[in-house]
């Protein structure tokens, strides 16, 4: 495909080798303005803001993915396959299944279960298990440990449905030890595997449905500072 793409107006050299990818474009803007040096806006097609600058002297990009696997599927695919990006770290929010998780806790997705048919495109004779890149995962966990931050590592669920008509669905995933639910990481992990690239998804818990607690949409956009700093420090090590 020619560059720019229908979804990205950047030139090929506009992205760094590592991209932090929140879902919310305004969170991408916040990260660029708060943490990156000399950040330049490189994409704003459909409001999916993308920036490139440096962090502690290392080139780094941040770009929004939007919501859901189809949107993540498009943007991560293009970054991996058309823009020569090597590493994508998703930094998002998730809803807790595990009773051990509370608001603002950090989860790193070692694996991403999914109720999506995204993997059908690969025509595999079995069930593909989307997993994080071990180097990214171990670097993130080590970074958290060095900064006295607790990272809960395990399986998450990437779901196609935010409002699920089957009210028992969450309980079933919880019973299998799944820590939390979100909507993008399985597509990211599959795109990375197919492109022989590297991906990691980390989350801040924004709601605990079984405990009936949640944070506001404004807090989702403007908080999550600890997770973002740990992701930035991880990116410096790559």
The per-residue pLDDT for range 100-145, each reduced to its tens digit, is 999 999 999 999 999 999 999 999 999 999 999 999 999 999 999 9
Instruction: Identify the three-state secondary structure at position 180.
Output: strand
Distance in angstroms (rounded) separating the CA atoms of residues 3 and 1: 7
The sign of the torsion formed by the CA atoms of 112, 115, 118, 119 equals positive
> 12-236: which CATH architecture?
3-Layer(aba) Sandwich (3.40)
Inter-residue contact 20 to 97 (CB < 8 Å): no
Preceding peptide of 129 cis, ω within 30°: no
Write the DSSP symbol of residue 1. Answer: -
pTM equals 0.96
Tokens at 238, concatenated? 């790559």
Tokens at 66, concatenated? 């939007």
Q: How confident is the model at residue 1 (pLDDT cuts 50, 70, 90)?
A: low
24 tagged catalytic: no
Extended strands (E) in 97-185? 106-114, 151-158, 180-182
Query: Which value, to the nearest 10 degrees, does the dihedral of the CA atoms of residues 111, 113, 114, 118 take?
Result: 50
Q: For the segment 40-53, what is each residue's pLDDT rounded down to a tens digit?
A: 999 999 999 999 99
HSE of 7 in the Cβ direction (CA atoms, 13 Å)? 18
Distance in angstroms (rounded) separating the CA atoms of residues 8 and 43: 6
Q: How confident is the model at residue 217 (pLDDT cuts 50, 70, 90)?
A: confident
> What average pLDDT does range 57-64 have in this prediction?
98
Inter-residue contact 210 to 98 (CB < 8 Å): no
Catalytic residue (one of 84, 166, 207, 225):
207
Class of residue 214 by CB neighbours under 10 A (exposed 0-12, middle 13-18, buried 19+): middle
């Amino acid at each position: 495909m020619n560059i720019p793409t229908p979804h990205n107006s950047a030139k090929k050299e506009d992205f760094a080798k590592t991209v932090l990818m929140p879902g919310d474009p305004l969170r991408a803007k916040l990260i660029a303005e708060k943490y990156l040096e000399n950040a330049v806006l490189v994409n704003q097609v459909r409001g999916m803001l993308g920036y490139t600058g440096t962090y502690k002297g290392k080139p780094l990009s941040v770009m929004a993915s939007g919501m859901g696997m189809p949107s993540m599927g498009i943007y991560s695919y293009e970054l991996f396959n058309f823009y020569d990006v090597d590493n994508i770290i998703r930094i998002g929010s998730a809803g807790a299944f595990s009773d051990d998780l509370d608001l603002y806790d950090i989860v790193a997705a070692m694996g991403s279960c999914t109720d999506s048919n995204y993997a059908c495109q690969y025509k595999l004779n079995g069930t593909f298990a989307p997993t994080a890149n071990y180097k990214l995962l171990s670097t993130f966990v080590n970074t958290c440990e060095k900064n006295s931050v607790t990272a809960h590592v395990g399986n998450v669920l990437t779901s196609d449905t935010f409002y699920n008509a089957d009210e028992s669905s969450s309980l079933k995933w919880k019973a299998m030890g799944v820590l939390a639910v979100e909507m993008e990481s399985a597509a990211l992990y599959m795109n990375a595997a197919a492109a022989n690239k590297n991906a990691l998804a980390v989350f801040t818990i924004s709601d605990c449905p079984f405990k009936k607690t949640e944070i506001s949409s404004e807090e989702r956009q403007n908080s999550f500072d600890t997770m973002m700093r740990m992701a930035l420090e991880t990116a410096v090590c790559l």
